[in-house]
Structures are given as C-alpha cells and as structure tokens.
Amino acid sequence: MTRLAIIDYGSGNVRSVQRALEAAANHFEIPLTVVLTDDPDRIRQADRIVLPGVGHFADCAEGLAARQGVAEALNEAVFRSRRPFLGVCVGMQLMADVGREDIETRGLGWIPGAVERLRPTDPSLPIPHMGWNVLTDIKPHPLLDGLGPEPHVYFVHSYAMNPAHRQHVAAWCDYGGKFVAAIARDNLFGTQFHPEKSQQAGQTILANFLRWKP
Amino acid sequence: MLKVRVIPCLDVKDGRTVKGVNFVDLRDAGDPVALARAYDAQGADELCFLDITASHEKRGAMIDVVERTADACFMPLTVGGGVRTPDDMVAMLKAGADKVAINTAAVLDPDILKACARKVGSQAVVMALDARREGDGWGVFTHGGRNSAGKDAVQFAKRAAELGAGEILITSMDRDGTRNGYDIELLRAIRNVVNVPIIASGGAGNVQHMADAVTKGGADAVLAASIFHFGEASVTDAKRALAAAGAPVRIIEPV
C-alpha cells in the first residue's frame, strides 16, 4: 500500500488532486492511501508526495513557509531521501530558486531557475494562457509514458518556470513561443498544467506517477 | 497551439438541471452529475454550472452538485450564480470548481473583483457579463438581465479585466434563447479592448454559429446550453465545425 501525502497548505484545489489520484489508482488497480496534511511527521512518513498549488507564487510560498517544519520536512523527504515527488502548477513553480510574480520570492530551490511571466511573441494573445494545449518535444520519461504523440493537457497560468539547465525540461508547450510544460530531475517531477483536470491524459500521468520508481 | 474551448452549460436549480434536457442515453436527465459525465465522455473542454436557485439558503445543493461532479469528471469546471463575495468563491473552489463566475455583485461594486482575485487568483475569477444593445453600443444588465446598470458593456469588460477578472463570459441578452447566433459585434468590440480570454454565450442555434463566434468574434471559447442538451449537436459536432472553419480544436473521438 502506497502512502501518498498531498501537502495541504491553504492553496486551492487539494481535493481535486486527491480525487483524481484516487480515481487513477482505482482504475489502474494501484493500492493507495492518501492523506491531506501539513504535518511534518506525516510528510516524512509518506512514500510519495504531491505539492499542488493554485494562484499566486508569493501567496503559495508564504503559505508553505507559515507552516512550521513543512519546508524542512519536504527537503528531507524529497530532496535528501529522494521520495517520488510531483509538483502541480504553482506546486511545480515552487521547486525553482525564485519566483518573480509581482515581488521576488524564494522557492524551494530544487531546480535552478526562476518563475517568470509568460511573454508571448504575439502581444494580442490573451493572458492567462487558459485551456487545452499540446505537449511538444516530450522527453522519454516514465511519467509521460503512454500519452500518444500529441497529448492535450489543461493549462491555467500566467507564469512559467525558466530553468537554468535545459536537461531539467521534460516537455515544452507553445503559446506565442515555447515555455516549459514539465520538468524532471531525478525523483522530482513537475507539471505546469493540471493533470487532475486533463481527463484521460491526466489520469495516465497520475497513474504513471503512482507506479514510478525513480 | 492553444485550442478553442467548447463549453456545455447547465442551469441548475436546487440541485437539479432545469431547461428541458433530452439525452437519449440518460436515465435521469435532471441529474446534473449524469449530464456532466455525458459531456465529459463527449470530450467537452470545460463544463459550466449556473446556479439559478432563488434562495441563498438552498446553495448547499449546488455545493453538493459540484462535489459530486468533481468526484466523477476530471475536467475544468466553472460555477456561477449567486456569487457575491470572495468567500462564496472559496466555497465553490473547495467543492471542486476551478473557476467561479460573478455577475451582479461585481457590476454593482467592481472592486469586489480585486478582492476576489487577491483571494483566489485571477485565473479563477470569471466576470459574467450580461449585455444588451443600447443605442450605438451595449449596456450592462444585472439580476439575470432584468435591471440596467447604466454602464457601457465594452468599457465595463475592460475595467473588469484590469481589476482582476481572468476571463470574461459575455452573454448577449438580445440573442439568448433566440438561436439566431451569438452577437458577433459585441464579442469583437470586447475582444478589441481586453487581453484576457473571452467566452461567447447567448444565441447558439447551430454549430456554424460557434465557428462564427471564434473566426469573426474572436472568442476563445464558446458556451451553449440547449443545442447540446437536446442532442441537436454533440460536442464533437461543434468541434468538427470549428475545425472546418480553421479554428484549432481538441477532438476526442467517442469510444
């Protein structure tokens, strides 16, 4: 039985993420127990960790920092003990060194790089980038297995991660220019899109995550 | 490339779907969750629930509908109707909605949009704008289109986006229910002044109307109710028409 912790730090759609993971586990017959938690001990005990996040980078970073011991527990379980980790949307962005949404805010520092505003080459393109878009230049990675050649996934964001090292990019997406749609480093994976809202493609990614042995 | 979204909209009252629905395969067409599942299977890009429950006391039924839908459908969900405060938005998001539409409260006090965006992020705040032709332009209406707010719809849309609305849902009161097509001029006028996504609503009578809203009106998404509910066109039909008109779509072949 996999014990999965979803970090509940006051940011948005924790339940949606939980339900989508449970449905994926159910469909692919993966034994799973999920806890929603901001308890450092439970985070340390988890086999896998998901960090969701919706809204503003600085708000999410503050929400994480305000919970005593959570960032330390994440560093220990994820960065040092190398448990499989999935960051979603702002949860992915928080893996960067720094976020530049309105003000400069420190992230967890697991992926060198910064989170910056989308700047489409065509200035008439609406921001936020909202809706279904295609993953491109998909790197072979266990989490992106079985998606087919042109998977559509659901995005809602105005900022994207700009990693210092190209080898940390797992997939790109195009919106008036390329931006990073997924990042991967060892046991870390992050999606700028929302797998929990991406119908079949999202369910495949979540099931891949639950079976992932980095 | 970003795809144009096709969004079926369900009117919900006291937890049940209103407006006649004529889905062949559904045992209970009044159950919004059953309908949501059907549209999910058709590859709808997003769903919109509009709560037309008259009394605030019965809002709990809507929360329940949103929760049960989010349990079954892993797709974006927008909920509107009776939303007045940032806390109303939070309640809907906690239940499983991704975006919340606000109408009358934001027309009467636009600054509420700023408070909502601060609380939940502008990506989750949808300004639902009811507009009707007035003179050379369009006026903003509230209370389900009954009261004129004495404001210019195009200017108001611009202001709403500046204050923090991450998307504008534009309903033409002139066209709503007529099946004569969306108000293309209204869409275009708003498209020209806002830089957030706009959703066309009100007047869809066939799939060509949807294509027109995108190619001529500049809409990023098209919303429709009865055309889908009565089975006159499926979501896939709508997407084929959009594709034929040159609009990028995500086509999910029915299994």
Q: pLDDT of B23-67, one tens digit each?
A: 555 556 688 999 999 999 999 999 999 998 867 777 788 999 999
Chain B residues touching A199 at Cβ < 8 A: 40, 43, 74-75, 252
Mean pLDDT value across residues A189-202: 96
Instruction: Say whether pLDDT at B6 is over 50.
Output: yes
Give the domain ranges of chain A: 2-211
Gyration radius from chain A CA atoms: 16
Contacts of B60 (CB under 8 A, 6+ apart): none
Instruction: Say whether pLDDT at B117 is over 70.
Output: yes
Among residues A56, A165, A61, A51, the alpha carbon closest in space to that of A107 is found at A61
For the beta carbon of residue A160, count every other beta carbon within 10 angstroms.
Answer: 21
pLDDT of B52:
85
What pLDDT, in 10s, does the model give residues B142-174? 987 888 999 999 999 999 999 999 999 999 999
Dihedral sign for Cα B163, B164, B166, B170, please: negative
Among residues B204, B206, B218, B148, the alpha carbon closest in space to that of B175 is found at B204
Tell me which of A85-89, B17-21, B63-67, B89-93 is least confident: B17-21
pLDDT of B28:
66
Is A72 a residue of the active site? Answer: no
Question: Above pLDDT 70, what percent of chain B?
Answer: 94
Mean pLDDT value across residues A18-43: 96
Do the Cβ atoms of B96 and A13 come within 8 Å? yes
Give the angle subtended at the CA of B80 by the CAs of B70 and B69, to the nearest 5°. 15
pLDDT of A53:
87
Greater pLDDT, B101 or B19: B101
Q: Please name the residues between 115 and 144 in chain A that touch chain B, using a CB distance below 8 Å.
A: 124, 126-134
**ipTM for the complex?**
0.91
pLDDT of B25:
58
Q: Where are the alpha helices (DSSP H) in A66-133?
A: 70-74, 90-93
Instruction: Say whether pLDDT at B22 is over 70.
Output: no
Chain B residues touching A132 at Cβ < 8 A: 2-3, 5, 45, 250
Instruction: Say whether pLDDT at A41 is over 50.
Output: yes
Q: Where are the alpha helices (DSSP H) in B48-122?
A: 60-72, 86-95, 104-108, 111-120
**Which tokens is A202 given?**
């999202």
Among residues B122, B220, B229, the alpha carbon closest in space to that of B165 is found at B122
pLDDT of B120:
87
CB nearest A152 (choices: B3, B40, B167): B3
Distance CA(B16)–CA(B55), nearest Å, equals: 14
Contacts of A22 (CB under 8 A, 6+ apart): A32, A34
Greater pLDDT, A162 or B31: A162
Considering the candidates A56, A60, A89, A101, report the single residue annotated as catalytic.
Answer: A89
A22 near B CB under 8 A: no
What pLDDT, in 10s, does the model give residues A111-144? 999 999 999 999 989 999 999 999 999 999 999 9
Among residues A106, A112, A50, the alpha carbon closest in space to that of A83 is found at A50
Considering the candidates B51, B130, B183, B220, report the single residue annotated as catalytic.
Answer: B130
The helix or strand, by DSSP H or E, that contains position A64, with its residue range, turns out to be: helix A57-65
Instruction: Say whether pLDDT at B254 is over 90.
Output: no
pLDDT of B203:
94
Distance from CA of A43 to the nearest CA of B (A): 22
- Could you tell me if A152 and A134 are in contact, meaning their C-beta atoms sit under 8 angstroms apart? yes
- Could you tell me if A25 and A53 are in contact, meaning their C-beta atoms sit under 8 angstroms apart? no
Region label for B179, one of left (φ > 0), alpha (ψ between -120 and 50) or beta (otherwise):
left
pLDDT band for B255, please (50, 70, 90 cuts): very low
Q: Please name the residues between 64 and 103 in chain A that touch chain B, using a CB distance below 8 Å.
A: none
Is A196 a residue of the active site? Answer: yes
Chain B residues touching A156 at Cβ < 8 A: 76, 98-99, 123, 166
Distance CA(B250)–CA(A152), nearest Å, equals: 7
Distance CA(B76)–CA(A154), nearest Å, equals: 8
Mean pLDDT value across residues B223-244: 92
A1 burial class (0-12, 13-18, 19+ CB within 10 angstroms)? Answer: exposed
Residue of B nearest to A206 (CA): B74
Contacts of B109 (CB under 8 A, 6+ apart): none
Distance CA(B42)–CA(B28), nearest Å, equals: 18
Greater pLDDT, B131 or B14: B131
Number of H helices, E strands in chain A: 6, 13
A51 burial class (0-12, 13-18, 19+ CB within 10 angstroms)? Answer: buried
Distance CA(B103)–CA(B146), nearest Å, equals: 13
Distance CA(B94)–CA(B70), nearest Å, equals: 10
- Could you tell me if B26 and B231 are in contact, meaning their C-beta atoms sit under 8 angstroms apart? no
Is A194 a residue of the active site? Answer: yes
pLDDT of B54:
66
Distance CA(A134)–CA(B202), nearest Å, equals: 29
Q: Where are the alpha helices (DSSP H) in chain B?
A: 32-41, 60-72, 86-95, 104-108, 111-120, 153-163, 184-191, 207-215, 226-229, 235-244
Do the Cβ atoms of A133 and B2 come within 8 Å? yes
The mean pLDDT of chain B is 91
Instruction: Report domain A2-211's class.
Output: alpha beta
